[in-house]
Structure 1
Amino acid sequence: MNRNTLSFLLSLFAPVVFGTLMLYIFEAFDGWHLSDVMSIAFLFFVPFAMGVLNTWLASYAQSQRRDVSICLPWASMALFLLISMGLGMEGWACWVMIFPLFMVAGTLGGLTGRWMRRRQKHGKTYVSVLLLLPLFISPVEQWMGKIPGRYKAYTYIDIQAPKNRIWPLVTRVSNISAEENRAGITRWLLFPQPVRAELDKEGTGGFRKAIFTGGLVFDETVEAYRHEEFMRFTIKANPYDIPSTTMDEHIVIGGQFFDVLNGTYELEQLNESTCRLHLYSHFKLSTTFNWYASIWAGWIMEDIQDNILQVIRRRAEGR
């Protein structure tokens, strides 16, 4: 094995070891409120440091190739993903959502390492500082605290059926078969899928229970109600009742990062034969990177809502 091959293997695998070590450290000190995997310190500066290592440890000729500086970090990130999942340190859904951010940060790190290789003076010192930077930033980020944000997910569907046929399918949803369940991104992320919804009485104060696969249950209380027109309800999920195998701890609904607050159905008559069913919900995020997390959370909530609306339309139209 020649020297270039050894340099390439070192530059590929050393960042994986570094990332795994950082993941272990961040999770170990989470209970002390000194670090958090769901933080900019981990989600940006750790992959950035991994990217720097990729090009710093490669041979000089390899490090100066633009394609190597951009793409080699992606290979290390993928290996890191597989290892952390294999060790049970992180789940599939969580990794899929943060991987694009990892790729961007890793590429920036790779390009930075490429630039540093051209200026060897004090290079080792700078690399050492960059490797330790996540550990210095994390306590500061934890001290500053998470930034709560409230967001809205809105979906609607047009149904060729009268209101008196649609509304009973809105208030109560009987068992959804596998053939009816046509979720998109949530199924791909292995999220729980809707099973049924039960309501004890129609009207304000009614108790509604939305049941999903994997033991996920939402307790819903009707706050406002107009028959065949409007229903608003609060949503509460107890994260302690959700089996640990159902959702990753970092994205569990009702946990410290993500929670659904309420939902609203509105039924609008468009013409003699068509009604429009609106469904929107409000959810809360508490991270230091809500600008990124809100994109994924919005997609997930809209996919859940759209899937339920599709079920209601097919049933109301007799399909």
Structure 2
Amino acid sequence: MRCLAEARLPFGLYPMMFSFIVLVPFAVGAVTVYVAERSERRTSGYHFRAGFMANVFLVLGTLVILLEGLICAILIVPLLALIGGVGGLAMGSVCRATNWPRSGVAVVAVLPLLMAGVEAPLPLPDRFGSVQCERLIAAAPEQVWAQLMSMPAIRPEEMEDGWMYRIGVPLPLSGVTRQDGAALLRHVEMGRGIQFDQVSTDWQPARWVRWTYRFTAESFPPRAMDDHVRIGGRHFDLLDTVYTLQPEGTGTRLKVSMSYRVSTQFNWYAEPLARWLIGNFEDVALRLYARRAEGDGPRDNAGLTR
């Protein structure tokens, strides 16, 4: 399913705009309550529930007609539904105070389209951030390094409880590193045919490695992932990932730092959500490395293939 972010709607409106994310659900909630109030007076609780559920059904409808992707829908429906509930409350209050103003509901209905014309030429603002996580592993740095370099077969149960995979991101299948001159090249494969490379020119065996990301036109097959959550896309990107290994007693403290970019007209919602998902991914990935390192001995050639 292609993501709604790729769809162009009338009057230049598209779903990654502030106009769509905030004003459309507000208008949907408001119009829903206006229609309900025309038949009989309703309570404030009804106003909120009606606006809330109208937007839930709106998102479900985009899924049914294949206009929206599942990942997009899961991430955005709480925000749209909440704003819809507020729109329902606002319209309920206006109806009680002014006796069902037709002009008022008309303004609310067309406001997203009017604002889209203003917003469309504006560039997307970028917000950059990084997330750090660490774990003490009962294994020598060489053993942990070997797992970082070569993870040829990742079982679904090792990663599937990460929240990004629960909502539909394909599971990782493997990550195998080879040395290419003075650089390291790690080839990552995921479900649905996703594949890309991580490249490092800044590394020291069993001490640290800094990965950057390299994508091609074949990295993400059609419909493999929703467009606005795709790594390296217009709205989201991973800039680098740094692993640091520090000996601690008989074990190793493995630290990871992931830097990212979020580019939307509603970064106030998207960036904290991205930060949470990345932090959860780091926890799951470090647990995987710990389990493998604590259960396996050092690999030949420090886990590299040539």
Asked if these proteins are the same fold (TM beyond 0.5), I'd say yes
Tell me, in whole angstroms, the C-alpha distance in 1 between the residues paired with 2:160 and 2:73: 23
> Following superposition, which runs of at least 4 residues in structure 1 exceed 3 angstroms of deviation?
59-64, 238-241
1:28 partnered with 2:9: yes
What's 1:195 paired with?
173
1:264 partnered with 2:242: yes
What's 1:234 paired with?
212
Q: What TM-score results when the alignment is normalised by the length of structure 1? A: 0.85
Which letter does structure 2 place at the counterpart of 1:118? R
| Contact 1:239 1:253 survives alignment (8 Å) | no
Encode CA deviations 1:152-186: one digit per residue, 9 max, x unaligned.
Answer: 12222111111121111112212111232343211
Which letter does structure 1 place at the counterpart of 2:276? W
Encode CA deviations 1:103-138: one digit per residue, 9 max, x unaligned.
Answer: 221111111111111133681111101100000111
Encode CA deviations 1:132-157: one digit per residue, 9 max, x unaligned.
Answer: 00001112112222101211122221
SS of structure 1 residue aligned to 2:237? strand
Tell me, in whole angstroms, the C-alpha distance in 1 between the residues paired with 2:51 and 2:200: 50
Tell me, in whole angstroms, the C-alpha distance in 2 between the residues paired with 1:196 and 1:83: 36
What's 2:271 paired with?
294
1:99 partnered with 2:71: no
SS of structure 1 residue aligned to 2:98? coil
- Count of residues in Structure 1 that have an aligned counterpart in Structure 2: 292
SS of structure 1 residue aligned to 2:89? helix
Identity %: 25
Tell me, in whole angstroms, the C-alpha distance in 2 between the residues paired with 1:62 and 1:265: 62
What's 1:279 paired with?
256
Tell me, in whole angstroms, the C-alpha distance in 2 between the residues paired with 1:96 and 1:120: 37
Matches within 5 A, 1:1-319: 27-29=8-10, 34-59=12-37, 63-120=41-98, 123-201=101-179, 204-238=182-216, 241-271=219-249, 273-318=250-295
What's 1:18 paired with?
none
Tell me, in whole angstroms, the C-alpha distance in 1 between the residues paired with 2:97 and 2:208: 66
| Contact 1:239 1:255 survives alignment (8 Å) | no
Tell me, in whole angstroms, the C-alpha distance in 2 between the residues paired with 1:202 and 1:256: 30
Q: What TM-score results when the alignment is normalised by the length of structure 2? A: 0.88
What's 2:304 paired with?
none
Encode CA deviations 1:222-263: one digit per residue, 9 max, x unaligned.
Answer: 031111111002112336531222111222222111111111
Which letter does structure 2 place at the counterpart of 1:228? A
Q: Which has the higher contact order (CA 8 A, sep 6+)?
A: 2
Which letter does structure 2 place at the counterpart of 1:216? I
Deviation at 1:58, TM superposition (A): 1.0
Deviation at 1:69, TM superposition (A): 0.9
SS of structure 1 residue aligned to 2:120? helix
Q: CA RMSD in A?
A: 2.2
| Contact 2:54 2:84 survives alignment (8 Å) | no
| Contact 2:156 2:171 survives alignment (8 Å) | no
| Structure 2 gaps, min length 5 | 297-306
- Structure 1 residues 140 and 63, CA, compared in 2 at 3 Å: closer, same or farther? farther
| Structure 1 gaps, min length 5 | 1-22
| Contact 1:93 1:189 survives alignment (8 Å) | yes
- Structure 1 residues 277 and 108, CA, compared in 2 at 3 Å: closer, same or farther? same
Tell me, in whole angstroms, the C-alpha distance in 1 between the residues paired with 2:273 and 2:40: 35
| Contact 1:63 1:69 survives alignment (8 Å) | no
SS of structure 1 residue aligned to 2:231? coil
Which letter does structure 2 place at the counterpart of 1:193? L
Which letter does structure 2 place at the counterpart of 1:79? F
Deviation at 1:74, TM superposition (A): 2.0
Which letter does structure 1 place at the counterpart of 2:36? A
Deviation at 1:41, TM superposition (A): 0.4
